[in-house]
């Protein structure tokens, strides 16, 4: 039943796959973004559905045999990889515009391939649905962005409380249950998004009631709960720290529209302030960015809410320095930390930026300092002394959000900044260069220059 993404004549989403997964005729080799400093971002930009929701909704489709359709899906690399994960589990996946149709067989496969899972952290979210549907799952330890350790301990303890037996062998998580999972109380040491998602999907088909205490509250969790409820699950407390799931015998496929991407929206908001611009963002709920937008107001920006899915950010002067500390939702999102550091780098005064979620989030700081940013780190704190402007340099994107943050910083630098490894940005920002151009930036993509040969 499965159709490989490598099949000739498949849809254009093939071009989004990494070169070693895509067919040779679709690989572009484009890997560098060149951006000219001095532009003022101005205009309107629309964001698509949230990457961090769409990926999990695609995995949740495994819970119901038949065709589920997920709309408002961003056209990014990670979605193409998740489609291949599902295909190799026996599903048929088709793309039409911004919709993804997932046809799930009565007995999907139970093993998620290493070569795909290592590229995409979100692919671990197939663990819960497969365990619930098949009573077994074999999923490689996930990869994804290099932003620090993100263990699976809470996933495993929660699933074990529901009756699963879990072991680690040869780089794989092996999960098995000889009978239907049983609802249980689960307390999370930290409101982990991934653990909450796996437990929600596993509990939807479990026998009895599962109560998840200290659950993640992110809008993407609420979006997953909405889809599960539409499929026939009984979920109460979505968006609160205690979520209760009463398991049912069978779920039905549905059509679901993905919530807007608050991180992409926040990226444009911070870019507007950094460049003293005027940007209207549509497609995302400003309430999902309340803390991040409040920081922009503190920096001196004018922020106007324009309905349930739009807001405007205008900045006429150099931003004032503000302190930022990342926290689980509803706090300041860790994914926006590179943008916060970029803004602090051109602000008047000194900012204290604290990262409380991922221990490797500061890995890109060396690249930011190559652009002239004055940043000093100490553990999970960074002190940023703002400067009037930055200086262009060749830099490297180390992850999705760092890449976007470096491009925004390049807008504040003199000359041309080259951001290499732009494929990272493709994993989270659909049409990134086109959107930048529409807002007035002078930017292009091109092939990475060849490495010099020194004859040895």
- Residues at the annotated binding site? 51-52, 121, 335, 357
The yes-or-no answer on residue 145 being catalytic is: yes
Residue 44: how many CB atoms within 10 A of its CB? 14
Neighbour-count burial of 143, counting CB atoms closer than 10 A to its CB (0-12 exposed, 13-18 middle, 19+ buried): middle
Whether the CA torsion 231, 236, 237, 242 is positive or negative: it is negative
Buried b (16+ CB within 10 A) or exposed e, 349-386: eebebebebbeebbbbbebbbbbbbebeeeebebebeb
Q: Binding site for UDP-N-acetyl-alpha-D-glucosamine: what residues are annotated?
A: 121, 335, 357
Residue 348 is given by DSSP the state: B
92: left (phi over 0), alpha (psi -120 to 50) or beta: beta
Identify the residue whose tokens are 């992409």.
Answer: 264
- 351 strand-pairing partners: 384
Query: Are 386 and 346 a contacting pair, CB within 8 Å?
Result: yes
Query: Are 368 and 375 a contacting pair, CB within 8 Å?
Result: yes
- For residue 124, the SS3 value is helix
Per DSSP (E only), the strands in 170-283 are 172-176, 185-187, 209-213, 234-236, 242-246, 255-257, 278-282
Residue 431 is given by DSSP the state: T
Whether the CA torsion 335, 55, 229, 70 is positive or negative: it is positive
Question: 3-state DSSP helix/strand/coil percent for the chain, to nearest 5?
Answer: 35, 25, 40
Q: Binding site for phosphoenolpyruvate: what residues are annotated?
A: 51-52
Catalytic residue among 145, 223, 278, 309: 145
Catalytic center residues:
145
């Amino acid at each position: 039943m499965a159709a490989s993404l490598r099949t000739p004549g498949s849809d254009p989403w093939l071009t989004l796959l990494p070169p070693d997964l895509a067919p040779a005729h679709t690989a572009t080799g484009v890997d560098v973004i060149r951006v000219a400093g001095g532009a003022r971002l101005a205009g309107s930009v629309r964001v698509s559905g949230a990457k961090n929701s769409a990926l999990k909704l695609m995995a949740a489709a495994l819970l119901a045999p038949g065709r589920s359709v997920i709309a408002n899906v961003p056209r990014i690399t990670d979605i193409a990889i998740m489609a291949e994960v599902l295909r190799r589990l026996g599903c048929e996946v088709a793309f039409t515009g911004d919709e993804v149709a997932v046809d799930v067989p009565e007995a999907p496969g139970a093993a998620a391939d290493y070569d795909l899972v290592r590229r995409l952290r979100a692919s671990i979210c197939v663990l819960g649905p497969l365990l619930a549907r098949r009573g077994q799952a074999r999923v490689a330890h996930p990869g994804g962005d290099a932003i620090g350790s993100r263990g699976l301990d809470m996933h495993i303890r929660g699933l074990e409380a529901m009756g699963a037996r879990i072991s680690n062998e040869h780089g794989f998580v092996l999960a098995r249950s000889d009978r239907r999972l049983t609802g249980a109380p689960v307390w999370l040491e930290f409101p982990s998004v991934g653990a909450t998602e796996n437990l929600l999907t596993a509990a939807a088909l479990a026998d009895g009631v599962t109560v998840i205490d200290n659950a993640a509250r992110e809008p993407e969790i609420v979006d997953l709960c909405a889809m599960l409820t539409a499929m026939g699950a009984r979920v109460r407390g979505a968006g609160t720290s205690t979520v209760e799931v009463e398991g049912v015998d069978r779920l039905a496929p549905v059509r679901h529209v993905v919530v807007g991407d608050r991180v992409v929206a926040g990226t444009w908001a911070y870019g507007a302030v950094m460049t003293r611009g005027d940007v209207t963002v549509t497609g995302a709920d400003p309430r999902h960015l309340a803390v991040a937008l409040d920081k922009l107001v503190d920096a001196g920006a004018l922020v106007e809410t324009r309905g349930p899915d739009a807001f405007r950010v205008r900045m006429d002067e150099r931003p004032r320095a503000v302190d930022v500390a990342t926290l689980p939702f509803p706090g300041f999102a860790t994914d926006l930390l590179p943008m916060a550091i970029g803004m602090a780098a051109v602000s008047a005064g000194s900012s204290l930026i604290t990262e409380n979620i991922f221990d490797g989030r500061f890995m890109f700081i060396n690249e930011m300092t190559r652009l002239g940013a004055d940043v000093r780190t100490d553990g999970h704190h960074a002190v940023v002394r703002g400067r009037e402007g930055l200086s262009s340099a060749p830099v490297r994107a180390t992850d999705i959000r760092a890449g976007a943050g470096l491009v925004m910083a390049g807008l504040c630098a003199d000359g041309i900044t080259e951001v290499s490894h732009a494929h990272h940005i493709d994993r989270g920002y659909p049409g990134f260069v086109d959107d930048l151009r529409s807002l007035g930036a002078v930017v292009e993509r091109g092939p990475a220059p060849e490495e010099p040969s020194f004859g040895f």
